[in-house]
Structure 1
Amino acid sequence: MKFLPYLSFHGQANDALKFYQSVFGGHLDIQRAGELFSTNDNKTAILVVHGVLTIDEDFHITALDVIPGAPDVQPGATVSMGLHFDDAKQATDIYSQLSKNGQRVIDFTPKDWGGLFGIVTDQFGVRWNIDATA
């Protein structure tokens, strides 16, 4: 079994996936509404209906845009991404990159349990819980 977090956006899925690719690397595959079904609305045609960023075999981020007529969502309200690192420098770098144009909710600092921990909400409203072994 693989855990594939699925993020929903209002027209920002493409930009969000490209941003995450700039942070984590990986291969990006995007299918747009206009490729999968007929629509006369150009704004709908460019929306992402299925986007997958494959970082490695155990780390994928999937995303979509809410298509008109589909149930609405509140971005970031029900999903947070959790990242654990054995390398504190790598964790610090990722925390810093994700916080660009975002909001640092909890600074990435040493905690009582001996590790490092922080929470950041990125520029797309997605919350990331990041921890590392000290």
Structure 2
Amino acid sequence: MSVTTTTHLNFRGAAREALDFYRSVFGGRTVAVTYKDAGAVRDESEADWVMWGEVTGDDGFHVMAYDVPGHLPWNQGENAFFVSVRGTDAEEISTLWGRLSVGSTVVRPLEPAPWAPLYGMLTDRFGVTWVLDVAAPYHA
């Protein structure tokens, strides 16, 4: 079992550009899944926005990013990032969720999602938004 934390940056239509820039700076590989790829388009003008993306490098560099869809509130100064906690063991992630959720506001319950065996989001009592999930391989 292992758990990692990753900075998860939030944008409004600029996630792909940001990921490409960070890859050009730090090297590594980019993976970007659009709302269209995931079958989650609510607004056609946002179909090619990034629903889930990351840059990973062999040296350990890792950053995640997504485009906050227009139907959700977003203010770069207030909700510019999430802390992503990703693990390989559902029990371990569930335990961490239980501890972290004390005094928090659950944004999305920890439950199976189309892209992960478990996925959940909460904002803790200090105002930090956390995303917890169980890693699953992405097959384009």
Q: TM-score, normalised by structure 2?
A: 0.49
Question: Is 1:8 the equivalent of 2:10?
Answer: yes
Determine helix, strand or coil for the equivalent of 1:31. Answer: strand
**Which one has the bigger helix percentage?**
1
Q: Is the 8 A contact 2:35 2:48 kept in 1?
A: yes
| Structure 1 segments of 4+ aligned residues over 4 angstroms from their partners | 75-79
CA RMSD after TM alignment: 2.3
Q: Is the 8 A contact 1:13 1:63 kept in 2?
A: yes
Q: What's the CA shift for 1:55?
A: 1.3
Q: How many corresponding residue pairs? A: 79
CA distance in 2, matches of 1:73, 1:37: 25
Structure-2 change in CA distance of 1:70 and 1:47 (3 Å): same
Match in the other structure for 1:121? none
Q: What's the CA shift for 1:38?
A: 4.7
Deviates more, 1:70-79 or 1:54-63: 70-79
Match in the other structure for 2:106? none
Q: What's the CA shift for 1:57?
A: 6.5
Determine helix, strand or coil for the equivalent of 2:64. Answer: strand
CA distance in 1, matches of 2:28, 2:77: 23
Q: 1:46 aligns with which of 48, 52, 57?
A: 48
Structure-2 change in CA distance of 1:35 and 1:75 (3 Å): farther
Structure-2 change in CA distance of 1:26 and 1:66 (3 Å): same
Determine helix, strand or coil for the equivalent of 2:37. Answer: helix
Determine helix, strand or coil for the equivalent of 2:76. Answer: coil
> Residue type matched to 1:50 in 2?
W
Determine helix, strand or coil for the equivalent of 1:16. Answer: helix
1:14-29 aligned within 5 A: 14-29=16-31
Match in the other structure for 1:37? 39
Q: Is the 8 A contact 2:10 2:79 kept in 1?
A: no
Instruction: Give the % identical residues.
Output: 33
Greater radius of gyration (CA) = 1
